Structures are given as C-alpha cells and as structure tokens.
C-alpha cells in the first residue's frame, strides 16, 4: 500500500479556502486517492475520491497532477464545523478496495 505524507496540522479562519496537500510518491497505477474527514468520537466520513486531474463535488475539490505523486484537497470557504482531522488515503480500486492504511492525518482548526 502506498504511504502518504500530509501536514500534521493547519489553521484557518472562517470563510477562507483551505488546501491540504498529500504526498504519495509510491502510488501504483491501480490506486485511487480518497480523502476522509473525522470528527472526535465519530467514524471517518468520505469526502472525495479521484484518480487523476480534478474532481469536484458539493463539499470539496481534489486536484491531482499528471504524475499522481501528490494530491490537494481544497475546501472552499471553511466554517467552524469543518474543524476535524482529514485523512488522505491511497488504495487499489475495484474489488480489491477495502484495506485502508490510515496515516496521521491533518488536524484542521478553523478559527472564528
């Protein structure tokens, strides 16, 4: 499984855009990049997933360069409720998807 590296913590203010970058230099051809959000004492929640280029949904965007060795989660106009831990994971897609290795994650703190 490809190892990921992301900042331990980030601080932001309400209304700002937050970009969290994750490095995954050993990503394999079949690997997908998935971001999860976790609040204290809750299970992780899926945010967004991508394979290459850019993916956007109602809560975030995911930017993946051509070499796929990194990815950036972009949260537009964060609010206090976005304070959480964000995990970047890389895992093989298809029927093999499942065993996820969680890294340390990024603790995002949004200030008023």
What is the contact surface with another protein in residues (CB under 8 A)? 32, 34, 36, 41-46, 49, 87, 91, 93-94, 97-105
Q: Quote the CA–CA distance of 56 and 51 in Å, as a whole number.
A: 12
Of 41, 42, 38, 64, the closest CA to residue 52 belongs to 64
**Nearest distance, CB of residue 46 and another protein, angstroms:** 5
Closest to another protein by CB, 70 or 91: 91
Q: Quote the CA–CA distance of 31 and 51 in Å, as a whole number.
A: 7
Q: Quote the CA–CA distance of 112 and 103 in Å, as a whole number.
A: 28
Of 42, 17, 35, the closest CA to residue 89 belongs to 35
**Nearest distance, CB of residue 103 and another protein, angstroms:** 6
Closest to another protein by CB, 79 or 104: 104
**Nearest distance, CB of residue 3 and another protein, angstroms:** 13
**Nearest distance, CB of residue 15 and another protein, angstroms:** 28
Closest to another protein by CB, 41 or 81: 41
Closest to another protein by CB, 32 or 63: 32
At 89 the three-state DSSP class reads strand
């Amino acid at each position: 499984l490809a190892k990921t590296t992301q900042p331990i913590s980030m601080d932001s203010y309400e209304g700002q855009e937050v970009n969290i970058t994750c490095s995954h230099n050993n990503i394999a051809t079949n690997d997908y990049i998935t971001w999860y959000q976790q609040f204290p004492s809750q299970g992780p929640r899926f945010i967004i997933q991508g394979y290459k280029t850019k993916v956007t949904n109602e809560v975030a965007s995911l930017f993946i360069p051509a070499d796929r060795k990194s990815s950036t989660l972009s949260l537009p106009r964060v609010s206090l409720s976005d304070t959480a831990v964000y995990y970047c994971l890389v895992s093989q897609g298809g029927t093999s998807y499942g065993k996820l290795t969680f890294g340390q994650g990024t603790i995002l703190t949004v200030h008023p």
